[in-house]
């Protein structure tokens, strides 16, 4: 139960950690001049964009289990909310 309880938090933290790791790799590659630096002092923006581009497909592959657990958690919450709304609507119609 506890693994499902914090699924959204775990996925979000993993996604941020993966982005930070990608940024670190891009920073090292720029520092070593393997990847060209941005123009007119846009180095930080350039590195963040490269890190985002790298982390998106990696997260799609590496974080599949966390994403599935998070979607199960969200579906359960939506189903409970729908059931509460239906029960409330039934009580209002019965009055």
**Could you read off the pLDDT tens digit of each residue along the chain, which spans 95 residues?**
455 678 889 999 999 999 999 999 999 988 888 887 776 667 888 899 999 999 999 999 999 998 898 988 889 889 999 988 888 877 766 55
What size, in residues, is the chain? 95
- Does the residue 60 lie in any domain? yes
Indicate whether 95 belongs to any domain.
no
CA-CA distances (angstroms) from residue 68 to 1, 7, 35, 76, 87?
A: 15, 9, 34, 12, 29
Q: Does the residue 30 lie in any domain?
A: yes
Instruction: Give the model's pLDDT for residue 60.
Output: 94
Residue 4's pLDDT is 67
Give CA separation, 24 vs 30, 38, 84, 86, in Å.
10, 16, 46, 49
pTM of the entire structure?
0.73
- Domain range holding 46? 4-90
What is the domain count for the chain?
A: 1
How far, in Å, CA of 48 to CA of 24, rounded? 10
């Amino acid at each position: 139960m506890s693994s499902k309880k914090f699924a959204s938090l775990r996925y979000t933290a993993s996604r941020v950690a993966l982005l930070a790791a990608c940024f670190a790799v891009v920073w090292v590659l720029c520092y070593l001049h393997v990847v060209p630096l941005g123009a007119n002092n846009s180095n930080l923006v350039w590195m963040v964009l490269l890190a985002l581009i790298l982390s998106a497909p990696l997260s799609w592959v590496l974080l599949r289990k966390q994403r599935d657990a998070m979607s199960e958690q969200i579906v359960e919450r939506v189903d409970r909310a729908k059931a509460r709304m239906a029960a409330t609507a039934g009580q209002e119609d019965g009055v």
